[in-house]
A = this chain, B = another copy of it.
Amino acid sequence: MTIVRPYGDTTGDGMVQVSFTLPLVHDKRAEGAAVQLANKMGLDPAMLVHAKPMGEGFTFFVVYGRVNHLVDTEKVQVVERDFPLLSAKEINAVIKRRLRRRLSVVGACIGTDAHTVGIDAILNVKGIAGEKGLEYYRELSVTNMGAQVSVPDLVETARAQKADAVLVSQVVTQRDAHLHNTRAMSAAFREAMPAGKRPLLIVGGPRFDELMAAELGVDRIFGRGTTPREVASYLVHALIGAPK
């Protein structure tokens, strides 16, 4: 199927639910304003089913309705996995055979962000979702710098460890903190090392848009629910190429 619509309880009904707050005192006009917004979002008819005054001059709304947009699945832009998902065994084997040394990975959570659970899930032996982290791979040499690492320290360590890849995590996104930090990081690597010598730059975190890699100056972005094996497979693919 290439064209689909949202589904409430009947094919093609197009039903969606929306909620939001408007900075308006609750009255009929505010309700009308909520319907206007819903209409602009493409809901027609829009059923205003809940309106609740909050504090001074704010009202919360819930709207249900039929949205008239079509979704064309052919036109969807996603970063598809364009590399084979390998087993730990295969990964170790490829690195051993083709690289003939351990592949060096440096990981960190940069800026003031102190959320290490995500990067630890990728790097630590413990891993996540039943998969062991990169430390578990015999042929990977992992340096996990922890959280709140400054960009200069990261560059320094990457150099010291002769990093093939640098893995950066960013979880706090308020005021686009993750984007600022990622840009600062990739700029620092561009400045510090010539193109051919730069490690592969990878960022990850639950609120990244995976399509933004080029814009942020990194090689790849991993989002919600990433598993270590995906990352390891990507490393092999990007740094070594197809196993054979």
Interface-lining segment among A10-18, A147-155, A191-199: A10-18
Name the one of B30, B42, B78 contacting A41, with C-beta atoms under 8 angstroms. B42
Given contacts A18-B18, A36-B75, A72-B36, contact A207 B47 (CB under 8 A): yes
Give the residues from 173 to 217 in chain A that come closer than 8 angstroms, CB to CB, to chain B: 207, 209
Chain A interface SS verdict (over half): mixed
Chain B: CB-nearest residue to A206: B49
Is B69 touching A28 in the complex (CB atoms < 8 A)?
A: no
The minimal Cβ–Cβ distance linking A74 to chain B, given in whole angstroms, is 10
Is A21 touching B8 in the complex (CB atoms < 8 A)?
A: yes
How many angstroms between the C-alpha atoms of A82 and B81 in the bound complex? 61
Is B209 touching A24 in the complex (CB atoms < 8 A)?
A: no
Is B33 touching A71 in the complex (CB atoms < 8 A)?
A: yes
**Can you show 17 pairs from A to B with CB atoms below 8 A apart?**
A4-B33, A6-B22, A7-B23, A7-B58, A11-B23, A16-B19, A17-B19, A18-B18, A22-B71, A28-B81, A33-B71, A33-B73, A36-B72, A37-B67, A37-B69, A40-B71, A41-B42
Q: A17-B18, A29-B73, A35-B76 are in contact. List 12 more A-B contacts (CB 8 A).
A: A4-B22, A7-B58, A11-B23, A16-B19, A24-B73, A31-B78, A32-B77, A36-B72, A36-B75, A41-B42, A41-B69, A42-B42
Counting from the closest, the 8 A-B pairs by CB-CB distance are A32-B76, A32-B78, A16-B20, A40-B69, A6-B20, A41-B41, A28-B78, A7-B21
